[in-house]
Structure 1
């Protein structure tokens, strides 16, 4: 039986199911190029179309069953409450039965329905949800299996192939005019140069376990918000090569998608949150390459859609050009690399100010409280009850912590990003290596010294410790130790330091102007 005939029979089956389910209420059918979805009350039933598009093959009943089961298995990793199971459709095309005995006509993925208003394409990403999404995604990647050394996915040449394919498909689909053709050529050359420079890094990331069985299609349309929590769904089940990818490529898709609709601050917050939870600051070296790739994937899909409809209207042309412009923007260095120290005692507001600055500027926020615990295999919220100068706060542990902050600062600047280093920096011995690093790398150096009266610091520290929802373990005993042991800045340091009184909210615009200045 030819594929068109099988497709017509499935369409008839879906029409019969719709009529049957309509007895209990309104039913809608949503159709894409690869599926038919029945929306009935609190339930959704998705049937895979009997198509073979090369990159996916649902042409036989056995394959549709297999990929329906794969869809449930894979998506239950992130949305177990949404994916209820695979339901066989039995009976006849005129009187189908969901479940039941007898010969199977087709298979449906049974899902719990949710409001489309919950999608990130319909609402902005709020700070709380961005934080939860960063933590959820980092945990998901940490738990996902990594490709084996002998595995077939994620090798550098397999990373480059789809990047190059994007350009050829776009050119074949839309016959770009002179300006678009020049932009495509420019991006193609940039991609090749970046790949040549990063091939060894890409291979090392694979060997280090960063190529994992990911979601594969992580954009705003596949993230919803339910009860204030992010719900990630609809991962790629039909082509393993599209989900066995570098975690940097996964994150880049969502970051690019957010930036494309003007949610750059949210994208920066998501990136910084993910890096803090994952510790994978090494991904910054390859992030721009993947941001450009993901923008060009969107451009390619738009071009294919225009070709399938045998025309490109003005709106489609605008969308295509918009993604090409996004790719060009992503190919540029994100800003002037600089090293910024945020110094001050516990309770002075370093972390809050760093978070606000990192949303407004392309700066990576690294925090001593988080990195110290990571060095000792502890989660950020762990409570060690260590005394000052004991346990993970002993002198040798602090040496390791500041060495780690220095190493991460180097990684960030060498990847083209500025860095905000959030630590007490109680002594010149702690501060000087960061100024030397900036001099070595030829980038800007800034020092923000935050302070408030001791009475204000004591109140803030006591309140924060009582709530227990921050990575800092500092209590009043720690603060008193800091007050006694801190070293004043030298005259030379004071000449290049901006002092910030945090009794009132800092003047953010003034700080942004300072931190946006060229070297």
Structure 2
């Protein structure tokens, strides 16, 4: 934007209603000026391929399109399109759409909504209720159910059309690999996406046959939903590209569902999607929603990545955008590898095989609580976690009774987390078959998905790792090289666990390669489970 025009728009004196002040907000595609009781939204002169505001004529066109489309779900927010003209060195805002050569910019004029009624405000205040979500469900169900999609819209449910968007996302984020997303994540999400298309084609075909493809909102975020006692209004839909608005109603709902997950409101998300499924008489929604949440989280990561590279955005905001981008990519990866329902991930394996390294990685990547048998055992005994237990105390620490108490505590951690609707990671040897079977029985009673990840490594690699521990001060495990033979002989491989609940991974390779292999294995399992 012209710096002189920007300065003009930042001045309260520039607006016809003489507001007390002006607040300026930037996104990667817009300049937004809050001038109570109104909002003026200007489109940036940008061309990202999927979005083209590069000419004044196009910005005018899309301003009108924005007003028209958003009035479908918000009947009195969008007041119309306004013009900014320039005569000499002075600018002037007009509520009319002027056609003269003096016009230098167009904007959408809106009512400013009270912050307290936005859906994200209810979340932040801890006042979100099921009744709020029920009203959103009713609003959206009416919106989708009244549509009669024609062939032009229905084609956007075909895999070829969806793949245009997903391929474009991966192409446009290549340059951010190593910055906001790492290479393993990029490859893992891409593999999941393409494998899902290949193995679940019948699901996409069924969605088209059931006419679940709609002209939706396209950007259904928490901050775009406003709930007062009188009405629900949903605004700021996608106007710049029809293919981002046309699609499965599940891809529309996935943005809001993903937002709830991002804010760690997993139970509310599940309630919302369950209610939408019932209201729409759409059981397949529950089956396909994680695929589309993966897509939506990736889109959000892409958008934040683009913001992080905008030179005109202040450095501090660019850094925040980069951090947010990484968080959204992490969430996308979680959907790709684990889905969004609660799961118990159990990292097991012999001493020195690297199970704790893997467990910590998933703990940090997905923000899932991790519970370590070594930590629990030492904590119960009142011992220093970072120091090796003295030899004279180890016999008491590793008795059968102490082991039973340790694993019982792990079961209690599972029960607590699953009861709260959260996933959980266990980090323990699980060398005893009877202990594994006890845990599996309890997981069956809880009706919870679970996966054992067995870490394996060659003996020489394990011995080298154990020897290295001798000079380290922050190792919680007491196992050292001298204990190898004894512990190896105690370890019983998990041959009783079926393939659907067990992945074995070799860790005697670089950590990044091990993680990549595990990502691909988990993505394959996730796709297989979605088809059961």
Instruction: Give TM class, smaller chain.
Output: 0.5 to 0.7
**Given the alignment of the two structures, is residue 99 of structure 1 paired with residue 102 of structure 2, yes or no?**
no
**Given the alignment of the two structures, is residue 251 of structure 1 paired with residue 253 of structure 2, yes or no?**
yes
Q: Verify the 8 A CA contact 2:10 2:22 in the aligned structure 1.
A: no
How far apart are 1:15 and its partner, in Å? 4.8
- Alignment match, 1:302: 304
How far apart are 1:166 and its partner, in Å? 3.0
Q: Which runs of 5+ in 2 are unaligned?
A: 344-417, 423-446, 450-499, 501-532
Q: Verify the 8 A CA contact 2:157 2:208 in the aligned structure 1.
A: yes
- Alignment match, 1:455: none
Change (3 A) 1:87 1:144: farther
Q: Verify the 8 A CA contact 1:90 1:99 in the aligned structure 2.
A: no
Spell out, residue by residue over 1:153-181, the C-alpha distance to the aligned partner (whole angstroms, 9 max, x if none): 3321121232233334333124259x932
Q: Verify the 8 A CA contact 2:154 2:208 in the aligned structure 1.
A: no
How far apart are 1:361 and its partner, in Å? 5.5
- Alignment match, 1:375: none
Spell out, residue by residue over 1:302-336, the C-alpha distance to the aligned partner (whole angstroms, 9 max, x if none): 33333445999875565344323322332325358
Distance 2:299 2:99 in 1: 43
- Alignment match, 2:133: 130
**Given the alignment of the two structures, is residue 76 of structure 1 paired with residue 71 of structure 2, yes or no?**
yes
Distance 1:15 1:166 in 2: 34
- Alignment match, 2:158: 155
1:91-240 equivalences in 2 (<5 Å): 92=87, 94-99=90-95, 103=100, 105=103, 106-124=105-123, 125-148=128-151, 153-175=156-178, 180-227=182-229, 229-240=231-242
- Alignment match, 1:48: 43
Which one of the candidate residues 263, 274, 277 is aligned to 1:275?
Answer: 277
Change (3 A) 1:80 1:164: same
How far apart are 1:122 and its partner, in Å? 3.0
Q: Verify the 8 A CA contact 2:80 2:110 in the aligned structure 1.
A: yes
What secondary structure does 1:144 align onto? coil
What secondary structure does 2:121 align onto? coil
Which one of the candidate residues 6, 15, 18 is aligned to 1:11?
Answer: 6
Which one of the candidate residues 330, 338, 361 is aligned to 2:335?
Answer: 330
Spell out, residue by residue over 1:266-315, the C-alpha distance to the aligned partner (whole angstroms, 9 max, x if none): 11221122112111112223222111111211222233333445999875
Distance 1:150 1:97 in 2: 37
1:355-374 equivalences in 2 (<5 Å): none
Change (3 A) 1:318 1:148: same
- Alignment match, 1:513: none
How far apart are 1:112 and its partner, in Å? 0.9
Distance 1:255 1:156 in 2: 22
What secondary structure does 1:108 align onto? strand
Change (3 A) 1:284 1:226: same
What secondary structure does 1:301 align onto? helix
Change (3 A) 1:115 1:191: same
Number of equivalenced pairs: 340
- Alignment match, 2:496: none
- Alignment match, 1:437: none
How far apart are 1:228 and its partner, in Å? 6.2
Distance 1:306 1:29 in 2: 18
Q: Verify the 8 A CA contact 1:173 1:306 in the aligned structure 2.
A: no
Distance 1:150 1:267 in 2: 27
Q: Verify the 8 A CA contact 1:49 1:58 in the aligned structure 2.
A: yes
Change (3 A) 1:322 1:17: closer
What secondary structure does 2:156 align onto? coil
Distance 1:41 1:314 in 2: 29
Distance 2:228 2:161 in 1: 36
Distance 1:183 1:58 in 2: 32
- Alignment match, 1:482: none
Q: Verify the 8 A CA contact 1:34 1:48 in the aligned structure 2.
A: yes
How far apart are 1:192 and its partner, in Å? 1.6
Q: Verify the 8 A CA contact 1:89 1:97 in the aligned structure 2.
A: yes
Distance 2:47 2:5 in 1: 15
1:319-468 equivalences in 2 (<5 Å): 319-331=324-336, 332-333=338-339, 334=341
How far apart are 1:151 and its partner, in Å? 6.2
Q: Verify the 8 A CA contact 1:83 1:109 in the aligned structure 2.
A: yes
Distance 2:288 2:84 in 1: 46
- Alignment match, 2:20: 25
How far apart are 1:195 and its partner, in Å? 1.2
Q: Verify the 8 A CA contact 2:118 2:224 in the aligned structure 1.
A: yes
Spell out, residue by residue over 1:221-250, the C-alpha distance to the aligned partner (whole angstroms, 9 max, x if none): 212222364321100001111001110111
How far apart are 1:263 and its partner, in Å? 1.0
TM-score under structure 2 normalisation? 0.57
How far apart are 1:199 and its partner, in Å? 2.2
Q: Which runs of 5+ in 1 are unaligned?
A: 337-357, 363-415, 419-442, 444-519
How far apart are 1:142 and its partner, in Å? 1.6
- Alignment match, 2:53: 58
Distance 2:205 2:70 in 1: 28
- Alignment match, 2:507: none
How far apart are 1:22 and its partner, in Å? 7.1
Distance 1:142 1:228 in 2: 22
- Alignment match, 1:261: 263
TM-score under structure 1 normalisation? 0.58
Change (3 A) 1:249 1:189: same
Change (3 A) 1:170 1:230: same
